[in-house]
Chain A
Amino acid sequence: MKKNFLKLTAALAVCLVVLWLLQMLLMPKYMTESKEGNLIAEYYDDFEEHGPHDVIFIGDCEVYENFSPITLWEEYGITSYIRGSAQQLIWQSYYLMEETFEYETPKVMVFNVLSMKYDTPASTGAAAQREAYNRMTIDPMRWSMSKWNCIQASMTDMEREKEAEWMYLFPILRYHDRWSDLSAEDFKYWFKRGDVADNGYLMQTGVKPLVHDHVEKPLVDYSFADSCWEYLDRMRELCEKHGTELVLIKAPSLSPVWWDQWDAQIEEYAEKYDLVYWNFLEHQEEIGIDWNTDTYDTGLHLNVYGAEKMSRYFGQLLVDTFDLPDRRSDAELSAVWADKVAVYNERKAKLEAETASATEGE
């Protein structure tokens, strides 16, 4: 009897290991395409190796493309990390914030408010795109209640009916038929992926100037949804509980359009709860953004040159407003960040060479 039990246990253990190995192999690696899919995962190793940060950014591409933690360190000695992901929705931002507090308690939590425009999972696009974005935020999260709740919050009613949440908890259920799509990248990064970002900042060195202003159709209703306000309330309460300053920002991206009516609602909210809200679209000149040279996609996002300008400006605001410490006098931390700066500069040089080569080829 005991022998049979041991055999069954051993079989189950082997089975689980095989399933885990298959899952690791079959999941997309995001190393050469859609690198955004790696951003959330990189945080855990960085925290475990290098410890906590004074500032954490949470949000969509408007944080991971527009702010450079390396510049914040070099200019002000601020330690920071960007927990950003592509089209990160406000309910996902909340649970990522909640999860972050399980690891560390930053002095400042920066949240980019663009995602207030999406009220429900179903409002965020067609099913395939929605799932692809969800995957890039949720799949890399480590198992926790925050992840489970994030999955639940990200499901449409139809997906919930189909119990799609289990495919997020156990991605092999989703990717089991990806055999025919496997490439060399899947085997190369089967167990360990490389770092694609610098403390969550995804560098771009290309230049594609703004030629014409971005326009969007006027909306029928500019009111943010109750569900979004609820998540913003929960973020505020979470930060209050941990003694962390919640800072609301609107990055200086020109598209999607940030309507004045939206801006007024966030301003009112910030005033009501005594929060700092900076809309950097109103500070482009002081920041020094030149839309001929500082964007790689006609104004949607900044390239590295714009992000460094943005970070110099933002760092000064942070220092002036929150009296953040300059950590550059800490020898141990300085050594860690010296390595990070070296990696950043190496990446920048490599990408600049690639950009130059691509430009010559055009």
Chain B
Amino acid sequence: MKKILALALALTMVLTLAACGGDKPAETTAPKAPSIVSPVTPDPAAFGYNVRGVDIEMHAEAAPILEALGEPVSYTEEASCAFDGLDKTYYFGGFYLQTYPLNGVDYVYSVWLVDDSSTTPEGVYIGASQAEVEAAYGAEGFNGSNAYIYTSSTATLTILVENGVVTSIQYDAVVK
């Protein structure tokens, strides 16, 4: 009986350890996990927004940016169904800034412009024409119907148009 038990345990060990060599679908072993699992270094060359002299890059740490921008007009937060940490949305009048949490630190997730009080660093604003968009960013990002989508290393810039006029400008962090 001892031999059987030893054989069984050895086989169990072999089977269990054999799994160690396999690829894993994700790095977490427990269910707690943020939506982005490791810090992403912001890329200054990627699309970014600048307002009131403050550079806002996707994946940048939010705290110094928020401090520089001052008191928001409004603020909402959302917890996902089963995870720790909050997605936070700040409205600064003219644009929203959204952050995601990672290991207790908030990072910039997106910025979107909602009125013509501010423009992109390339000079595009809500109400600009499609020609102005194409002059600033090129025509290759047009999806053929209602949006220009430009992707860089860590950020995506989406410009929605309606009847030839820009209606929304959005910067989003690229999530892999």
Interface residues of A (CB under 8 A from B): 7, 10-15, 18-19, 22, 28, 30, 33-34, 36-37, 60-61, 86-87, 125-133, 135-136, 159, 162, 164, 167, 172-178, 181, 211-215, 217-218, 220, 255, 297-298, 300
Contacts and interface: CB of A to CB of B under 8 A. Distances in A.
A10 B3 CA distance: 11
Given A126-B37, A128-B37, A162-B25, A11 B81 contact: no
Contacts of A212: 74-76, 91
A213 B91 CA distance: 11
Q: Which 8 A-B pairs have the closest CB atoms?
A: A14-B8, A86-B81, A86-B82, A15-B8, A128-B33, A212-B74, A164-B25, A131-B26
Given A133-B82, A220-B160, A128 B12 contact: no
**Main SS at interface, chain B:** mixed
14 contacts: A10-B8, A12-B8, A18-B8, A34-B31, A36-B81, A128-B34, A133-B81, A162-B23, A176-B16, A214-B76, A217-B168, A218-B160, A255-B76, A300-B78
A220 B143 contact: yes
B52 to A, nearest CB: 21
A259 to B, nearest CB: 14
B19 A172 contact: yes
A110 to B, nearest CB: 18
A178 B11 CA distance: 20
Nearest to A30: B31
Contacts of B33: 128-129, 131-132
A14 B16 contact: no
Given A176-B16, A176-B20, A135 B31 contact: yes
B74 to A, nearest CB: 4
Contacts of A60: 81
Nearest to A167: B25
Contacts of B160: 218, 220
Contacts, number: 154
A136 B82 contact: yes
Contacts of A87: 80-82
Contacts of A14: 4-5, 8-9
Given A14-B8, A15-B11, A34-B32, A215 B96 contact: yes
Interface in B125-173: 143, 146-147, 149, 158, 160, 167-168, 170
Interface string B62-87: 00000000000011111111110000
A190 B75 CA distance: 43
Contact of A18 (B12, B29, B78, B110): B12
Nearest to B3: A7
B31 A28 contact: yes
B11 A127 contact: no
B99 interface: no
Nearest to A60: B81
Contacts of B146: 220
A39 to B, nearest CB: 10
B117 interface: no
B30 interface: yes
Contacts of A178: 29-30
